[in-house]
Amino acid sequence: MKSGEFATITELAECEGIASSYMTRVLRLTLAAWQHEWLAAKVNDFHRAFLNRVRDLDADEWQKERAAGDDTGQEATES
């Protein structure tokens, strides 16, 4: 289709000897696969940034936050 040889999905399907509805599904899945790959890369970037931030936190800072308690104002309890 990029080359301009086929104007429609139906023409492409006829040339390949398959139903146009099947060709439509294949093309839709091809697009979905690219979108999933893109989304996975974005999620991976987010996780990497998050893990880098956690890694960079100072252990003393963690202890201070733990001692201060959670958002409700309650003291943290040790298990």
pLDDT in tens, 10-38: 998 999 999 999 999 988 888 888 888 88
Whether residue 78 is contained in a domain is answered as no
Rounded distance between C-alpha atoms, residue 22 and residue 12, angstroms? 11
Are 23 and 13 within 8 A, CB to CB?
yes
Residue 1: partners with Cβ closer than 8 Å, 6 or more residues away: 9, 12
What domain range is 41 assigned to?
A: 9-68
Q: Hunting for tokens 């099947």 — which residue is that?
A: 22
Whether residue 2 is contained in a domain is answered as no
Task: Please report which confidence band the pLDDT of residue 66 belongs to, taking 50, 70 and 90 as the band edges.
Answer: confident
Whether residue 56 is contained in a domain is answered as yes
